[in-house]
Amino acid sequence: MCQKFLRTTLSLFFLSLLFPLVSFSQQSIRVSGKIKDADNNPVAGASVSVKGTSNAGTVAGDDGSYTIEVLSNATLIFSSSGYDPREVAVNNKQQLDVVLNSKASELSDVVVIGYGSRQKKDINGAISTIKPKDIEKSTALSPELAMQGQMAGVDVTSAGGNPTARPIVRIRGTTSFNNADPLYVIYGVPFYEGGSGAVVDPTNDPTRRGPINIYTIVNPNDIESISVLKDASASAIYGVRAANGVILITTKQGKKGRVKVD
């Protein structure tokens, strides 16, 4: 009886010694670092989350820096649009700098840039695009609404429930001019909304726009791609008209192949 009691007491004693070790191995630490791409540029807005938990995580700042408090044995997941996600074990480290690699599939996409077509990896300018499959999924009534929430740096605000009402489009928050509308180029032809024939705007002044959206004549289902030029290269091609950016709309074309009847 005494031996059994002694064994039980010793077992409880050793277990009490293990508890501090377990708690020490899983203590919370503050992890900081910077997230960059392969060219050593900061990845602003990258998401940092904890694998296997419901922890909301954090978001990297404009310089790619982040700070998050996690368990010392946790695994962090770094992700951002256009980059392959990456998992990194903390291993009790308080400084973790991470490099994200661009998705190879997106770098090989062909983009219309106003003076031809290039692959994304060969372009240095600020360009946003919408893939054809994303346009097909959209139920938008016009090209502008098809861009809503699909492009970084492009703000699209609906003008109301009227399907012919023109949405307000702003590229990179350009709102300091009287007319901050971007230039639309549909299959190489520049279009203006000004002087649309509305009662409030019967003139042909391209700096004024009417409330009627003439771009509803373009069926979103007929659009092959939409590219937005957001930097100085737009002005180099289209002049001062492109000071607020350029929206390039390419429609679908006939393709060589066998006749198919659905």
Residue 261, domain member (yes or no)? no
Q: How many domains are contained in the chain?
A: 2
**How many CB atoms sit inside 10 A of residue 234's CB?**
28
**pLDDT given for residue 234 in this prediction:** 66
Q: 175 and 123, same structural domain? A: yes
Under 8 Å CB-to-CB from 61, ≥6 apart: which residues? 44
Q: Among 51, 79, 100, give the residue marking a domain's end.
A: 100
Helix (H, G, I), strand (E, B) or coil at 212: strand
Residue 229, domain member (yes or no)? yes
Q: 176 and 96, same structural domain? A: no
**pLDDT given for residue 124 in this prediction:** 47
Q: 134 and 218, same structural domain? A: yes
**pLDDT given for residue 65 in this prediction:** 93
Q: 110 and 236, same structural domain? A: yes
Counting Cα atoms < 13 Å in the Cβ hemisphere of 242 gives: 20
Tell me if 151 sits within 8 A of 246, measured CB to CB: no
Residue 206, domain member (yes or no)? yes
Q: 202 and 125, same structural domain? A: yes
Under 8 Å CB-to-CB from 100, ≥6 apart: which residues? 35, 36, 37, 38, 43, 46, 78, 79, 80, 83, 84, 86
**pLDDT given for residue 121 in this prediction:** 44
Q: In a 10 Å sphere around its CB, with 0-12 CB exposed, 13-18 middle and 19+ buried, how is residue 195 labelled? A: middle
Q: 194 and 117, same structural domain? A: yes
Residue linked to tokens 């077509």? 117
**pLDDT given for residue 104 in this prediction:** 59
**pLDDT given for residue 10 in this prediction:** 55
Residue 215, domain CATH: 2.170.130.10
Residue 258, domain member (yes or no)? no
The alpha helices in the chain, defined as continuous H runs, are 2-25, 104-107, 132-137, 143-146, 232-238
- In 3D, which of 250, 253, 242, 219 has the Cα closest to residue 117? 250
Q: Among 100, 125, 146, give the residue marking a domain's end.
A: 100
**pLDDT given for residue 21 in this prediction:** 46
Helix (H, G, I), strand (E, B) or coil at 116: coil
Q: 247 and 217, same structural domain? A: yes
Q: Among 59, 76, 100, give the residue marking a domain's end.
A: 100
Q: 89 and 160, same structural domain? A: no
**pLDDT given for residue 195 in this prediction:** 44
- Angstrom distance (rounded) from CA 120 to CA 124: 8
Residue 6, domain CATH: 2.60.40.1120
Residue 55, domain member (yes or no)? yes
Residue 256, domain member (yes or no)? no
Residue linked to tokens 């031809």? 116
**pLDDT given for residue 75 in this prediction:** 92
**How many CB atoms sit inside 10 A of residue 183's CB?**
23
List the pLDDT tens digit at each of the 262 positions of the chain: 556 655 666 565 555 655 444 444 568 899 999 999 888 888 888 889 998 887 768 888 888 999 999 998 899 999 887 788 999 999 999 999 999 988 755 544 555 444 554 444 444 456 777 777 777 777 677 777 777 777 777 777 776 666 667 777 777 655 544 557 788 888 777 776 554 444 444 444 444 555 556 566 677 777 777 888 777 666 667 777 777 788 888 887 777 777 777 6
- For 151, list phi and psi in degrees, rounded to 5: -130, 135
- Residue 61: which domain range? 2-100
Q: 151 and 68, same structural domain? A: no
Q: 116 and 85, same structural domain? A: no
- Angstrom distance (rounded) from CA 32 to CA 17: 32
Q: 24 and 84, same structural domain? A: yes
Helix (H, G, I), strand (E, B) or coil at 120: helix
**pLDDT given for residue 14 in this prediction:** 55
**pLDDT given for residue 211 in this prediction:** 54
Q: Report residue 49 as tokens.
A: 């989350």
Q: 148 and 65, same structural domain? A: no
